[in-house]
Amino acid sequence: MQFELTKEYLEALSQAIAQENMDWIESNVFELHYADIAGVICELDRSEAIQLYQLLNEDVQGDILMELDEDLRESIIKSFSTKEIAEQLELLDSDDAADLISQFSPDQVEEIIAQISDSEAADDIVDLLNYDSDTAGGLMQKEFVQAKIDWPVNRCVVELRRQAENVEKIHTIYVVDDRDRLLGFLSLKSLLFASPSTKIKDLYNDKNVISVKTSADNEEVAKIMEKYDLVSVPVVDVQNKLVGRITIDDVVDVIMDEAEKDFQLASGISERIESNFSVWRITRARIPWLLIAMLGGTLGAQVIAKFEGGISQVPALAFFIPLITAMGGNVGVQSSAIVVQSLAKNSNPFGSILQKLGKEALVALVNGVLLSSLIYGVAHYFDSGTLGLVVSISLFAVIIFAAIFGTFIPLVLNHYKIDPALATGPFVTTLNDIVGLFIYFTVGTILYQI
Amino acid sequence: MQFELTKEYLEALSQAIAQENMDWIESNVFELHYADIAGVICELDRSEAIQLYQLLNEDVQGDILMELDEDLRESIIKSFSTKEIAEQLELLDSDDAADLISQFSPDQVEEIIAQISDSEAADDIVDLLNYDSDTAGGLMQKEFVQAKIDWPVNRCVVELRRQAENVEKIHTIYVVDDRDRLLGFLSLKSLLFASPSTKIKDLYNDKNVISVKTSADNEEVAKIMEKYDLVSVPVVDVQNKLVGRITIDDVVDVIMDEAEKDFQLASGISERIESNFSVWRITRARIPWLLIAMLGGTLGAQVIAKFEGGISQVPALAFFIPLITAMGGNVGVQSSAIVVQSLAKNSNPFGSILQKLGKEALVALVNGVLLSSLIYGVAHYFDSGTLGLVVSISLFAVIIFAAIFGTFIPLVLNHYKIDPALATGPFVTTLNDIVGLFIYFTVGTILYQI
């Protein structure tokens, strides 16, 4: 039932494009869901992609454009005149149209807007361009249906029929007063089953009406929709006037982007990148963390240099440097990952910091006792009694320290409104390395009486 | 407009519960959205939580139960008889009811099911219990509305009114043939605006009908709903018979859980844990990776031990051990994170492995040249010319190696159907440490002519 992209299909398509075989393309491409056509276009060569896109029906061109990668989208757009772009924009939802158009230069934006024949659509797009793209205002669309509180059902159906022409999917009908202030909502279901003379007043739901302000942060919108299990959420301005709606599909994209960003931050990548970005862009996103790690390594080198005499006398001390740094790093990352996630989910907002630290310390104690005992035996294999004791004692101290540190850093970052996901990256690892080395060599120097 | 949980509110609530002040509770708790009530309950002491829950209206009890943490949920359920639990289950959607009931022992399940008075609801729950919880069958609910292809619109409205009693939110009406096989769908909007005698046949959409099989994996369902921007997706059995639907709110939970799991795997935590789990459970989830890291550290110790003679002669060689391992680890994690994400998104499925490796190698080359040059200067500060050369050359080699390795491992894991997110964790770091040390000391031994 679903379309599956195969190498055979792609080869046949390339051939059809080269031979301008419209019959094949019509029956094998035009019939597909726009998301699948977008998937196909992504796999083609740049010139084939543009050629195929231009053959497509206007109805789906805009939707497909929205699904493509940024650079492919740009190449395709460049192959059209501003007039043609304006025509494609008119067929898009206002939020998508605003997203697309915002990628042009101010001059081009003006030119394209001027070419949009539907003045209402043009107004909507211009209005949406005012909002920051990371807010509810930037996420919302102007397509929604609303009913006045004093309408009867039959008037409502007539008005909705008019409004609904532009609204692809109606999830909820918003009920407003005569000044367009949001009062509640009405499901299509209740409208469908109500008698024609019933007043909206007596039908609508005014309890627990969830809405978001235009200035609300993207992530906040996602949290609210997730918490209240919403399919769409109305957006209101400071006067509680209904100005737009956000649908769940756009929020799913926000959630996925956010998860991706956190995952990359925790992996030491500072900008959102995709595997098809240029070598230079990928390098730029990655080098900041590597520089921090290198700075950390240099500071570590300085710590060890302080104990150079000790290493000359007992070279075996050097054996366990990687073990100490690796364990400190891993324990720290584990601890901070848990804190970062509990912060992201806002779970247990009143659980005190001391409580969190206490629990982490307890977990670290259990891990520390288990692992230190184990390493004592292992170190014996390398050297006489003293080395085992040095590694074992310092590993214990490093585990406790790294756990407390890994818990503390994200809490501090969060307090100062810095994304705590930063902490699970090389940040915690690097700092734990330095302190771990200091603990290890201090214990070593004392026990070996160097 | 939205409820905000404050310390003052919680204190007043605790007092109201203690004093059995029903007036306060009715006007300050009962009016809230069930998700907010659940949030309030999570912040109360165990006994207060149970007390408050028992005061609530039956209508919302089940919904609230679904929002609570596992152990709190268990405590609350235990405070009810099987008869009372059965009553609460009846008011839930079938998928939620099945999820809740699956936490009981088989004997208890039997007892509760027997107490459910609505036999259709009981059948639905029993049916859903058959499916694996990680599949579309385990995710779907039996509440959906369907219309036969040969009905006229007016018959359809009558039938839907009957069906829709049990369906909280109608997103789409599924159109089936006389053997319940899925043929297409119909929006409520088109039904609302159609004339009563129109046949469903002439109204419904049979193009690009997206459905999932009951056996489809959770993640696959999430991918499909995300790709096609769906609010709900019909679930069919092997004969294409419509058996349920999955709504987007459940899939949002799947997406968030998945993101959390990946983040934790990458942070070296092997089971999904939350910050309020017991110390023992947290330890159990974390110790496997620490053991792997310790094994890695021990192997690293063995590598260094092989070069003990070298360290005796040039103790300064030990200084840069942490730098080499940290850089290898960080580069490896960065490379694997990008591959893991591009695998998760299935983007560029036909991009060859060689292409990925080539690009990573190129990025590594740029990073390697930049960072090696920098470290050459830094190492000079610690020691004469040779150390700078050793660190610089081996750092370059380690960066190239770690990048290739970090790209390769997740691809290999993915090939063998192992979650590639495993790779971004201590796995890549540990292996890179060992190889990095070997490269560093080999270069050192050669250049110092030890």
- Per the model's pLDDT, the better-predicted residue between B183 and A158 turns out to be B183
Kindly report the backbone phi and psi dihedral angles of residue B177, in degrees, each rounded to the nearest multiple of 5, phi listed first. Answer: -90, -170
Domain A7-130 has what CATH class? mainly alpha
Contact between chains at B255 and A259 (C-beta distance less than 8 A): yes
Which residues in B lie closer than 8 A to residue A330 (C-beta atoms)?
268, 289-290, 293, 426, 429
DSSP string, B51-106: HHHHHS-HHHHHHHHHHS-HHHHHHHHHTS-HHHHHHHHHTS-HHHHHHHHTTS-H
Pull the structure tokens for residue A422.
């930063």
Quick one: A70 exposed, middle or buried, by C-beta within 10 A (0-12, 13-18, 19+)?
A: exposed
Tell me the Ramachandran region of residue B314: left when phi exceeds 0, alpha when psi lies from -120 to 50, beta otherwise. beta
pLDDT tens for residues A156-206? Answer: 888 887 777 767 677 788 999 999 999 999 887 787 778 888 899 988 988
Which residues in A lie closer than 8 A to residue B230 (C-beta atoms)?
249
Domain B145-247 has what CATH class? alpha beta
Q: What is the dihedral of CA B29, B32, B38, B43, to 10 degrees?
A: -50
CB B136 within 8 A of CB B221: yes
Pull the structure tokens for residue A344.
């992201």
What residue has token string 């997206």?
B210
Contact between chains at B229 and A249 (C-beta distance less than 8 A): yes
* Min Cα separation A435/chain B (Å): 12
**Quick one: pLDDT band at residue A425, thresholds 50, 70, 90?**
low
DSSP string, A348-372: STTS-HHHHHHHHHHHHHHHHHHHH
Partner residue facing A330 (CB), from B43, B208, B268: B268
Average pLDDT over residues B422-432: 76
Coil, helix or strand for B384?
A: coil
Task: Write the CATH number of the domain with boundaries A145-257.
Answer: 3.10.580.10
Would the CA dihedral through A283, A287, A289, A294 be positive or negative?
A: positive
pLDDT tens for residues B82-101? Answer: 888 888 888 888 998 998 88
CATH code 2.20.28.90 for B279-447: no
What residue has token string 């259990």?
A366
pLDDT value at B258 more than 90: no
| Residue B340 confidence (pLDDT) | 81
Coil, helix or strand for B420?
A: helix
Protein fold of B7-132: MgtE N-terminal fold (1.25.60)
Pull the structure tokens for residue A139.
């996420």
- Per the model's pLDDT, the better-predicted residue between A51 and B274 turns out to be A51
| Residue A424 confidence (pLDDT) | 66
| Residue B352 confidence (pLDDT) | 64
Which residues in B lie closer than 8 A to residue A170 (C-beta atoms)?
187-189
Residue B284 C-alpha from the chain's centroid: 20
| Residue A268 confidence (pLDDT) | 77
pLDDT tens for residues A405-416? Answer: 888 888 888 888
| Residue A180 confidence (pLDDT) | 93
Closest alpha carbon within chain A to B269: A334
Pull the structure tokens for residue B57.
């209206």
CA angle A117/A118/A119 to nearest 5° reads: 100
| Residue B349 confidence (pLDDT) | 53
Closest alpha carbon within chain A to B68: A347
pLDDT tens for residues B1-19? Answer: 578 888 889 999 999 999 9
pLDDT value at A348 more than 60: no
Which residues in A lie closer than 8 A to residue B363 (C-beta atoms)?
279, 282-283, 286
- The 10 Å Cβ neighbour count of residue B259 is 20
Q: How far apart are CA B16 and CA A236, in angstroms?
A: 34
Contact between chains at B329 and A329 (C-beta distance less than 8 A): yes
Average pLDDT over residues B36-59: 89
Q: How far apart are CA B339 and CA B325, in angstroms?
A: 21
DSSP string, B2-17: -----HHHHHHHHHHH
Closest alpha carbon within chain A to B346: A39
ipTM: 0.78
| Residue B243 confidence (pLDDT) | 95
Positions of CATH 3.10.580.10 in chain B: 145-247
| Residue A401 confidence (pLDDT) | 93
Beta bridge partners of A245: A141, A234
- Give the least confident one: A213-227, A377-391, B273-287: B273-287
**Quick one: pLDDT band at residue B393, thresholds 50, 70, 90?**
very high
pLDDT value at A93 more than 60: yes
Which residues in A lie closer than 8 A to residue B7 (C-beta atoms)?
350
Which residues in B lie closer than 8 A to residue A340 (C-beta atoms)?
263
Which residues in B lie closer than 8 A to residue A210 (C-beta atoms)?
1-2, 33
CA-CA distances (angstroms) from residue A175 to B29, B117, B168?
25, 37, 19
Contact between chains at A323 and B294 (C-beta distance less than 8 A): yes
Q: Which of B410, B322, B435, B262 is nearest to A300 (CA)?
A: B322
Closest alpha carbon within chain B to A207: B31
| Residue A240 confidence (pLDDT) | 93
Which residues in A lie closer than 8 A to residue B209 (C-beta atoms)?
1
Q: How many separate helices (H) and strands (E) can be counted in chain A?
A: 21, 6
pLDDT tens for residues B319-377? Answer: 999 999 999 988 988 888 888 877 776 655 555 667 777 888 888 999 999 999 999 98
**Quick one: pLDDT band at residue A351, thresholds 50, 70, 90?**
low
**Quick one: pLDDT band at residue B159, thresholds 50, 70, 90?**
confident
Contact between chains at B264 and A341 (C-beta distance less than 8 A): yes
Q: How far apart are CA B36 and CA A228, in angstroms?
A: 8
- Average predicted confidence (pLDDT) for chain B: 86
Partner residue facing A267 (CB), from B207, B266, B363: B266
Q: Which of B449, B203, B318 is nearest to A325 (CA)?
A: B318
| Residue B104 confidence (pLDDT) | 85
**Quick one: pLDDT band at residue A443, thresholds 50, 70, 90?**
very high
Closest alpha carbon within chain A to B334: A267
Average pLDDT over residues B242-256: 89
pLDDT tens for residues A253-288? Answer: 888 888 888 778 777 777 777 666 778 888 888 888
CA-CA distances (angstroms) from residue A420 to A214, A257, A417, A423, A425?
25, 16, 8, 5, 10
8-state DSSP, A199: B
Partner residue facing A315 (CB), from B263, B312, B363: B312
Average pLDDT over residues B70-80: 84
Q: Which of A250, A215, A225 is nearest to B33 (CA)?
A: A225
| Residue A449 confidence (pLDDT) | 82
CA-CA distances (angstroms) from residue A347 to A341, A352, B42, B276?
9, 12, 9, 9
Pull the structure tokens for residue B269.
């935590």
- Give the least confident one: A354-358, A439-443, B41-45, B342-346: B342-346
